[in-house]
Amino acid sequence: MDGVTETWTEPSSTGAALLLLGRGTDPSAERGVECPGELPAPSDPTLVERAARAKAALGDRLFILGHHYQRDEVIQFADVTGDSFKLAREAAARPDAEFIVFCGVHFMAESADILTSDAQKVVLPDLAAGCSMADMAVLSQVETAWELLEDAGVADSTVPITYMNSSADIKGFVGRHHGVVCTSSNAKRALTWAFERGQRVLFLPDQHLGRNTAILEMGIDADDCLLYDPHKPGGGLTAQQLGQAKMLLWRGHCSVHGRFTKSSVDEIRLRVPDVNVLVHPECRFDVVTAADYVGSTEYIIKIIDAAPAGSAWAVGTELNLVRRLANAHPDKQIMFLERNVCYCSTMNRIDLPHLVWTLEELAAGRLVNQITVDADTAHHARVALDQMLALP
Ligand code: SF4
Protein backbone atom coordinates (compact mmCIF):
# COMPACT_ATOMS: atom_id res chain seq x y z
CA MET A 1 0.00 0.00 0.00
CA ASP A 2 1.45 3.39 -0.88
CA GLY A 3 1.45 6.33 1.49
CA VAL A 4 -1.03 8.39 -0.55
CA THR A 5 -4.18 6.37 -0.78
CA GLU A 6 -4.21 4.97 2.74
CA THR A 7 -6.05 6.89 5.42
CA TRP A 8 -3.50 9.15 7.05
CA THR A 9 -3.35 9.10 10.82
CA GLU A 10 -1.03 10.82 13.27
CA PRO A 11 1.94 8.56 14.01
CA SER A 12 2.52 7.77 17.64
CA SER A 13 5.15 9.82 19.43
CA THR A 14 8.67 8.80 20.25
CA GLY A 15 9.54 8.30 23.91
CA ALA A 16 11.18 11.71 24.01
CA ALA A 17 8.10 13.43 22.66
CA LEU A 18 6.07 12.04 25.54
CA LEU A 19 7.89 14.35 27.93
CA LEU A 20 5.81 17.35 28.82
CA LEU A 21 7.23 20.49 27.32
CA GLY A 22 9.61 22.21 29.69
CA ARG A 23 9.62 19.30 32.15
CA GLY A 24 12.11 16.53 32.67
CA THR A 25 15.43 16.10 30.94
CA ASP A 26 16.40 14.37 27.73
CA PRO A 27 19.42 16.10 26.22
CA SER A 28 19.38 13.74 23.22
CA ALA A 29 15.88 14.84 22.27
CA GLU A 30 14.68 17.99 20.62
CA ARG A 31 12.75 19.13 23.66
CA GLY A 32 11.86 18.38 27.21
CA VAL A 33 14.57 20.17 29.19
CA GLU A 34 14.30 22.68 31.98
CA CYS A 35 14.50 26.39 31.31
CA PRO A 36 16.72 27.69 34.12
CA GLY A 37 16.61 31.11 35.72
CA GLU A 38 14.12 33.66 36.95
CA LEU A 39 11.91 34.77 34.11
CA PRO A 40 10.37 38.22 34.20
CA ALA A 41 6.58 38.23 34.46
CA PRO A 42 4.81 38.50 31.09
CA SER A 43 2.81 41.39 32.57
CA ASP A 44 5.96 43.43 33.31
CA PRO A 45 5.32 46.72 31.41
CA THR A 46 9.05 47.38 31.04
CA LEU A 47 9.86 44.24 29.01
CA VAL A 48 10.28 46.03 25.67
CA GLU A 49 12.49 48.68 27.25
CA ARG A 50 14.55 46.04 29.08
CA ALA A 51 15.10 43.98 25.90
CA ALA A 52 16.14 47.13 23.99
CA ARG A 53 18.52 48.17 26.78
CA ALA A 54 20.21 44.75 27.01
CA LYS A 55 20.48 44.52 23.23
CA ALA A 56 22.09 47.97 23.06
CA ALA A 57 24.53 47.05 25.85
CA LEU A 58 25.67 43.97 23.93
CA GLY A 59 26.04 45.95 20.68
CA ASP A 60 27.94 44.19 17.88
CA ARG A 61 28.74 41.25 20.14
CA LEU A 62 25.12 40.15 19.65
CA PHE A 63 23.20 39.01 16.58
CA ILE A 64 19.55 38.00 16.92
CA LEU A 65 17.94 35.67 14.40
CA GLY A 66 14.12 35.46 14.19
CA HIS A 67 12.27 32.66 12.41
CA HIS A 68 9.14 33.69 10.49
CA TYR A 69 6.96 31.64 12.85
CA GLN A 70 8.01 33.64 15.91
CA ARG A 71 5.71 36.00 17.80
CA ASP A 72 5.68 39.70 16.83
CA GLU A 73 6.88 40.63 20.33
CA VAL A 74 10.09 38.70 19.60
CA ILE A 75 10.44 39.45 15.88
CA GLN A 76 10.66 43.19 16.66
CA PHE A 77 14.12 42.56 18.16
CA ALA A 78 15.46 40.30 15.37
CA ASP A 79 18.39 41.64 13.33
CA VAL A 80 17.25 39.38 10.50
CA THR A 81 14.20 37.22 9.86
CA GLY A 82 13.94 34.16 7.66
CA ASP A 83 13.29 30.44 7.35
CA SER A 84 15.60 27.92 8.98
CA PHE A 85 18.00 27.69 6.06
CA LYS A 86 18.29 31.44 5.52
CA LEU A 87 18.89 31.98 9.22
CA ALA A 88 21.62 29.31 9.36
CA ARG A 89 23.39 31.08 6.50
CA GLU A 90 22.93 34.46 8.18
CA ALA A 91 24.53 33.05 11.34
CA ALA A 92 27.48 31.77 9.30
CA ALA A 93 27.85 35.19 7.68
CA ARG A 94 28.36 36.94 11.06
CA PRO A 95 31.77 35.68 12.22
CA ASP A 96 32.29 38.74 14.44
CA ALA A 97 29.19 38.20 16.58
CA GLU A 98 30.12 36.55 19.86
CA PHE A 99 26.52 35.60 20.69
CA ILE A 100 24.01 34.32 18.14
CA VAL A 101 20.62 34.37 19.87
CA PHE A 102 18.36 32.09 17.85
CA CYS A 103 14.66 32.83 18.19
CA GLY A 104 13.45 29.59 16.64
CA VAL A 105 13.64 25.93 17.64
CA HIS A 106 16.39 23.59 18.77
CA PHE A 107 17.40 22.01 15.44
CA MET A 108 17.87 25.47 13.94
CA ALA A 109 20.19 26.52 16.75
CA GLU A 110 22.13 23.29 16.23
CA SER A 111 22.56 24.08 12.53
CA ALA A 112 23.77 27.57 13.44
CA ASP A 113 26.30 26.08 15.86
CA ILE A 114 27.54 23.70 13.15
CA LEU A 115 27.98 26.54 10.67
CA THR A 116 29.62 29.07 13.03
CA SER A 117 33.11 29.13 14.56
CA ASP A 118 34.00 27.58 17.92
CA ALA A 119 34.45 31.06 19.37
CA GLN A 120 30.80 31.94 18.71
CA LYS A 121 28.08 30.92 21.15
CA VAL A 122 24.63 29.99 19.87
CA VAL A 123 21.89 30.59 22.43
CA LEU A 124 18.25 29.40 22.43
CA PRO A 125 16.14 31.57 24.76
CA ASP A 126 13.99 28.60 25.87
CA LEU A 127 15.59 25.16 25.81
CA ALA A 128 12.15 23.56 25.59
CA ALA A 129 11.61 25.05 22.13
CA GLY A 130 11.97 21.86 20.12
CA CYS A 131 10.26 20.60 16.98
CA SER A 132 7.81 17.72 17.07
CA MET A 133 8.77 16.72 13.52
CA ALA A 134 12.47 16.52 14.36
CA ASP A 135 11.54 14.41 17.41
CA MET A 136 9.93 11.83 15.12
CA ALA A 137 13.29 10.58 13.84
CA VAL A 138 15.83 9.71 16.51
CA LEU A 139 19.25 8.33 15.72
CA SER A 140 18.73 4.82 17.12
CA GLN A 141 15.59 4.38 15.01
CA VAL A 142 17.35 5.53 11.85
CA GLU A 143 20.30 3.23 12.54
CA THR A 144 17.85 0.32 12.90
CA ALA A 145 16.28 1.22 9.55
CA TRP A 146 19.71 1.31 7.93
CA GLU A 147 20.56 -2.13 9.36
CA LEU A 148 17.36 -3.46 7.78
CA LEU A 149 18.46 -2.02 4.44
CA GLU A 150 21.88 -3.65 4.91
CA ASP A 151 20.26 -7.00 5.75
CA ALA A 152 18.12 -6.68 2.62
CA GLY A 153 21.32 -6.03 0.62
CA VAL A 154 20.12 -2.62 -0.59
CA ALA A 155 21.86 -0.11 1.71
CA ASP A 156 24.62 0.52 -0.85
CA SER A 157 22.05 1.59 -3.44
CA THR A 158 20.13 3.81 -0.97
CA VAL A 159 20.87 7.52 -0.53
CA PRO A 160 19.64 9.13 2.73
CA ILE A 161 18.21 12.64 2.55
CA THR A 162 17.16 14.56 5.59
CA TYR A 163 15.05 17.67 5.68
CA MET A 164 16.64 20.64 7.42
CA ASN A 165 14.04 20.08 10.17
CA SER A 166 15.93 17.27 11.86
CA SER A 167 18.38 16.97 14.72
CA ALA A 168 22.14 17.32 14.27
CA ASP A 169 22.37 13.58 15.01
CA ILE A 170 20.28 12.77 11.96
CA LYS A 171 22.17 15.22 9.75
CA GLY A 172 25.39 13.59 10.99
CA PHE A 173 24.03 10.14 10.10
CA VAL A 174 23.18 11.34 6.60
CA GLY A 175 26.65 12.87 6.18
CA ARG A 176 28.29 9.59 7.26
CA HIS A 177 26.24 7.70 4.66
CA HIS A 178 26.99 10.01 1.73
CA GLY A 179 23.61 11.71 1.68
CA VAL A 180 22.45 15.30 1.71
CA VAL A 181 20.34 17.76 3.68
CA CYS A 182 17.48 19.49 1.86
CA THR A 183 15.08 22.35 2.46
CA SER A 184 11.55 22.80 1.21
CA SER A 185 12.96 24.92 -1.65
CA ASN A 186 15.61 22.51 -2.93
CA ALA A 187 14.04 19.08 -2.23
CA LYS A 188 13.64 18.37 -5.95
CA ARG A 189 17.30 19.16 -6.62
CA ALA A 190 18.33 16.95 -3.71
CA LEU A 191 16.23 14.04 -5.04
CA THR A 192 17.61 14.49 -8.57
CA TRP A 193 21.16 14.42 -7.16
CA ALA A 194 20.37 11.32 -5.07
CA PHE A 195 18.85 9.34 -7.95
CA GLU A 196 22.01 9.95 -9.97
CA ARG A 197 23.86 8.07 -7.21
CA GLY A 198 21.44 5.38 -6.05
CA GLN A 199 18.27 3.52 -6.82
CA ARG A 200 16.24 4.62 -3.82
CA VAL A 201 16.06 7.38 -1.25
CA LEU A 202 15.45 7.13 2.47
CA PHE A 203 13.72 10.45 3.12
CA LEU A 204 13.77 11.79 6.71
CA PRO A 205 11.79 12.86 8.70
CA ASP A 206 8.89 14.53 6.82
CA GLN A 207 6.87 12.02 4.82
CA HIS A 208 4.74 14.78 3.26
CA LEU A 209 7.60 16.85 1.82
CA GLY A 210 9.17 13.62 0.54
CA ARG A 211 5.97 12.32 -1.04
CA ASN A 212 4.87 15.65 -2.51
CA THR A 213 8.27 16.24 -4.11
CA ALA A 214 8.66 12.67 -5.39
CA ILE A 215 5.23 12.38 -6.99
CA LEU A 216 4.47 15.94 -8.05
CA GLU A 217 7.92 17.19 -9.01
CA MET A 218 9.88 14.04 -9.89
CA GLY A 219 7.04 12.06 -11.51
CA ILE A 220 7.68 9.03 -9.31
CA ASP A 221 4.74 6.64 -9.12
CA ALA A 222 2.82 6.73 -5.82
CA ASP A 223 3.15 2.93 -5.61
CA ASP A 224 6.94 3.32 -5.51
CA CYS A 225 6.73 5.54 -2.40
CA LEU A 226 6.47 3.38 0.71
CA LEU A 227 6.00 4.54 4.26
CA TYR A 228 8.61 3.39 6.78
CA ASP A 229 7.08 3.35 10.26
CA PRO A 230 9.80 3.27 12.95
CA HIS A 231 7.23 2.06 15.49
CA LYS A 232 6.51 -1.16 13.58
CA PRO A 233 8.79 -4.19 13.38
CA GLY A 234 10.84 -3.97 10.20
CA GLY A 235 9.39 -0.50 9.64
CA GLY A 236 6.17 -2.26 8.58
CA LEU A 237 7.80 -3.37 5.33
CA THR A 238 9.22 -6.64 4.02
CA ALA A 239 12.82 -6.93 2.80
CA GLN A 240 11.42 -7.23 -0.72
CA GLN A 241 9.47 -3.97 -0.34
CA LEU A 242 12.56 -2.21 1.00
CA GLY A 243 14.43 -3.27 -2.13
CA GLN A 244 11.68 -2.42 -4.59
CA ALA A 245 10.78 1.03 -3.25
CA LYS A 246 12.14 4.15 -4.90
CA MET A 247 11.18 6.37 -1.98
CA LEU A 248 11.19 5.18 1.61
CA LEU A 249 9.29 7.88 3.45
CA TRP A 250 9.99 8.15 7.15
CA ARG A 251 6.74 8.34 9.09
CA GLY A 252 7.16 11.85 10.45
CA HIS A 253 5.20 15.02 9.88
CA CYS A 254 4.82 18.61 11.05
CA SER A 255 2.12 18.86 13.69
CA VAL A 256 1.17 22.31 12.39
CA HIS A 257 1.06 21.72 8.62
CA GLY A 258 -0.37 18.21 9.14
CA ARG A 259 -3.54 19.79 10.49
CA PHE A 260 -4.67 21.33 7.20
CA THR A 261 -7.17 19.10 5.40
CA LYS A 262 -8.69 18.83 1.95
CA SER A 263 -12.04 19.78 3.48
CA SER A 264 -10.56 23.10 4.72
CA VAL A 265 -9.59 23.83 1.09
CA ASP A 266 -13.07 22.85 -0.18
CA GLU A 267 -14.75 24.88 2.52
CA ILE A 268 -12.81 28.09 1.84
CA ARG A 269 -13.41 27.79 -1.92
CA LEU A 270 -17.16 27.66 -1.23
CA ARG A 271 -16.98 30.68 1.09
CA VAL A 272 -14.61 32.77 -1.08
CA PRO A 273 -15.05 31.64 -4.71
CA ASP A 274 -12.08 33.56 -6.18
CA VAL A 275 -9.68 32.65 -3.39
CA ASN A 276 -6.11 31.52 -4.13
CA VAL A 277 -5.01 28.64 -1.92
CA LEU A 278 -1.32 28.81 -1.02
CA VAL A 279 0.23 26.06 1.12
CA HIS A 280 3.56 24.79 2.39
CA PRO A 281 4.86 21.44 1.05
CA GLU A 282 4.84 20.02 4.60
CA CYS A 283 1.05 19.75 4.11
CA ARG A 284 -0.55 16.43 3.23
CA PHE A 285 -0.64 15.25 -0.39
CA ASP A 286 -4.38 15.78 -0.85
CA VAL A 287 -4.08 19.35 0.48
CA VAL A 288 -1.13 20.17 -1.77
CA THR A 289 -2.87 18.78 -4.86
CA ALA A 290 -6.02 20.78 -4.05
CA ALA A 291 -4.04 24.03 -3.62
CA ASP A 292 -3.23 26.61 -6.31
CA TYR A 293 0.32 27.36 -5.14
CA VAL A 294 2.77 25.32 -3.10
CA GLY A 295 6.10 26.48 -1.72
CA SER A 296 8.45 27.19 1.15
CA THR A 297 7.93 29.91 3.72
CA GLU A 298 10.10 32.33 1.72
CA TYR A 299 8.09 31.47 -1.43
CA ILE A 300 4.81 32.13 0.40
CA ILE A 301 6.06 35.56 1.49
CA LYS A 302 7.19 36.44 -2.06
CA ILE A 303 3.89 35.33 -3.63
CA ILE A 304 1.85 37.42 -1.19
CA ASP A 305 4.16 40.44 -1.63
CA ALA A 306 3.69 40.25 -5.42
CA ALA A 307 -0.08 39.60 -5.36
CA PRO A 308 -2.33 42.32 -6.77
CA ALA A 309 -4.37 44.53 -4.44
CA GLY A 310 -7.83 43.12 -3.86
CA SER A 311 -6.80 39.49 -4.39
CA ALA A 312 -7.89 36.86 -1.87
CA TRP A 313 -5.52 34.32 -0.32
CA ALA A 314 -6.04 31.37 2.00
CA VAL A 315 -2.64 30.46 3.40
CA GLY A 316 -1.80 27.06 4.85
CA THR A 317 1.16 27.67 7.12
CA GLU A 318 1.89 28.76 10.69
CA LEU A 319 -0.48 31.35 12.11
CA ASN A 320 2.05 33.94 13.37
CA LEU A 321 3.35 34.30 9.82
CA VAL A 322 -0.11 34.43 8.22
CA ARG A 323 -1.21 37.10 10.66
CA ARG A 324 1.93 39.15 10.02
CA LEU A 325 1.35 38.89 6.25
CA ALA A 326 -2.27 39.99 6.70
CA ASN A 327 -1.18 43.01 8.75
CA ALA A 328 1.50 43.93 6.22
CA HIS A 329 -0.93 43.76 3.26
CA PRO A 330 -4.21 45.41 4.30
CA ASP A 331 -5.05 45.91 0.59
CA LYS A 332 -5.28 42.11 0.11
CA GLN A 333 -7.65 39.64 1.71
CA ILE A 334 -5.37 37.21 3.53
CA MET A 335 -6.95 34.38 5.49
CA PHE A 336 -5.77 31.41 7.48
CA LEU A 337 -6.66 28.19 5.63
CA GLU A 338 -7.90 26.34 8.71
CA ARG A 339 -10.78 27.47 10.92
CA ASN A 340 -8.97 26.39 14.07
CA VAL A 341 -5.99 28.21 15.53
CA CYS A 342 -2.77 26.56 14.45
CA TYR A 343 0.35 27.98 16.08
CA CYS A 344 3.54 26.02 16.34
CA SER A 345 3.43 25.55 20.11
CA THR A 346 7.18 25.05 20.44
CA MET A 347 8.08 28.09 18.31
CA ASN A 348 5.70 30.03 20.52
CA ARG A 349 7.69 29.12 23.62
CA ILE A 350 10.17 31.88 22.75
CA ASP A 351 8.34 34.85 24.17
CA LEU A 352 9.42 38.30 25.33
CA PRO A 353 10.14 37.24 28.95
CA HIS A 354 12.51 34.50 27.71
CA LEU A 355 14.22 36.92 25.33
CA VAL A 356 14.62 39.59 28.03
CA TRP A 357 16.01 37.03 30.49
CA THR A 358 18.48 35.72 27.88
CA LEU A 359 19.73 39.15 26.81
CA GLU A 360 20.08 40.44 30.37
CA GLU A 361 22.03 37.34 31.40
CA LEU A 362 24.38 37.71 28.43
CA ALA A 363 24.81 41.44 29.12
CA ALA A 364 25.70 40.56 32.73
CA GLY A 365 28.43 38.20 31.52
CA ARG A 366 26.54 34.96 32.15
CA LEU A 367 26.30 32.58 29.19
CA VAL A 368 22.95 30.76 29.33
CA ASN A 369 21.13 28.18 27.21
CA GLN A 370 24.06 27.56 24.89
CA ILE A 371 23.40 24.99 22.15
CA THR A 372 26.42 22.91 21.20
CA VAL A 373 26.88 19.99 18.84
CA ASP A 374 29.74 17.57 19.54
CA ALA A 375 32.67 17.80 17.14
CA ASP A 376 32.19 14.41 15.43
CA THR A 377 28.46 14.92 14.82
CA ALA A 378 29.09 18.49 13.69
CA HIS A 379 31.75 17.36 11.22
CA HIS A 380 29.49 14.81 9.50
CA ALA A 381 26.43 17.07 9.63
CA ARG A 382 28.51 19.77 7.99
CA VAL A 383 29.42 17.34 5.19
CA ALA A 384 25.70 16.81 4.49
CA LEU A 385 24.98 20.55 4.74
CA ASP A 386 27.90 21.44 2.45
CA GLN A 387 26.64 18.84 -0.02
CA MET A 388 23.32 20.66 -0.02
CA LEU A 389 25.05 23.97 -0.73
CA ALA A 390 26.90 22.32 -3.63
CA LEU A 391 23.73 20.88 -5.23
CA PRO A 392 23.63 21.72 -8.95
S1 SF4 B 1 6.10 24.40 12.37
FE2 SF4 B 1 6.30 22.15 12.31
S3 SF4 B 1 8.32 21.73 11.43
FE4 SF4 B 1 8.29 23.92 12.09
S5 SF4 B 1 9.13 23.89 14.18
FE6 SF4 B 1 6.89 23.73 14.38
S7 SF4 B 1 6.49 21.51 14.46
FE8 SF4 B 1 8.58 21.76 13.67
pLDDT in tens, 63-116: 999 999 999 999 999 999 999 888 988 998 999 999 999 999 999 999 999 999
Same structural domain for residues 181 and 233?
yes
DSSP string covering 228-273, please? E-TTSGGGG--HHHHHH-SEEEES---TTGGG--HHHHHHHHHHST
Q: Is there an atom of ligand 1 within 6 Å of 165 CB?
A: yes
Q: Is there an atom of ligand 1 within 6 Å of 301 CB?
A: no
Residue 91 lies in a domain: yes
Same structural domain for residues 194 and 216?
yes
Question: Would you tell me how many other CB atoms lie within 10 Å of the CB of residue 207?
Answer: 29
Residue 382 lies in a domain: no
Domain end point (choices 225, 253, 281): 253
Same structural domain for residues 157 and 222?
yes
Query: Which residues are part of a known binding site?
Result: 67, 84, 131, 163-165, 184, 254, 280-282, 297, 344
Percent of the chain with pLDDT over 70: 90
Q: What is the pLDDT of residues 329-359, one digit of tens each?
A: 999 999 999 887 678 888 989 999 999 999 9
SS3 168: helix
Q: Are strands 333-336 and 312-316 parallel, antiparallel or unpaired?
A: parallel
Mutual angle of helices 375-389 and 106-115, in 10-degree steps: 90
Atom of ligand 1 nearest to the CA of 134: 8
Same structural domain for residues 221 and 163?
yes
Beta bridge partners of 227: 249
Q: Is there an atom of ligand 1 within 6 Å of 254 CB?
A: yes
Per-residue pLDDT at 185 exceeds 50: yes
- What is the domain range of residue 301? 257-336
Please, are residues 332 and 222 in contact by the beta-carbon 8 Å criterion?
no
Same structural domain for residues 248 and 149?
yes
| Strand ranges (E), 304-368 | 312-316, 333-336
Per-residue pLDDT, 113 = 95
Residue 126 lies in a domain: yes
How many domains does the chain fold into? Answer: 3
Residue 22 lies in a domain: no
Of 374 and 13, more confident: 374
Confidence of residue 327 (pLDDT cuts 50, 70, 90): very high
Q: What is the pLDDT of residues 38-62, one digit of tens each?
A: 889 989 999 999 999 999 999 999 9
DSSP state of 340: S
Question: Would you tell me how many other CB atoms lie within 10 Å of the CB of residue 189?
Answer: 17
Per-residue pLDDT, 341 = 66
Same structural domain for residues 245 and 149?
yes
CA 300 from chain centre, in angstroms, equals: 15
Residue 19 lies in a domain: no
Atom of ligand 1 nearest to the CA of 346: 6
Same structural domain for residues 266 and 165?
no
Residue 9 lies in a domain: no
Same structural domain for residues 178 and 283?
no
Per-residue pLDDT, 12 = 40
Domain end point (choices 200, 226, 253): 253
Per-residue pLDDT at 27 exceeds 50: no
Per-residue pLDDT at 15 exceeds 60: no
Residue 289 lies in a domain: yes
Confidence of residue 386 (pLDDT cuts 50, 70, 90): very high
CA of 144 to the centre of ligand 1 (A): 25
Mean pLDDT of 314-327: 94
Residue 389 lies in a domain: no
Q: Is there an atom of ligand 1 within 6 Å of 346 CB?
A: yes
How many Å apart are CA 199 and CA 154, to the nearest integer?
9
SS3 4: coil
- In one-letter notation, the amino acid at residue 319 is L
Same structural domain for residues 158 and 124?
no
Q: What is the pLDDT of residues 128-159, one digit of tens each?
A: 999 999 999 999 999 999 999 999 999 999 99
SS3 116: coil
Per-residue pLDDT, 36 = 59
CA distances from 150 to 144, 147, 155, 228, 243 (A): 10, 5, 5, 15, 10
Same structural domain for residues 277 and 229?
no
CATH of the domain at 235: 3.40.50
Same structural domain for residues 117 and 149?
no
Q: Determine which of 22-26, 82-86, 92-96, 167-171 has the lowest per-residue pLDDT on average.
A: 22-26
Same structural domain for residues 186 and 168?
yes
CATH of the domain at 92: 3.40.50.10800
Per-residue pLDDT, 23 = 37
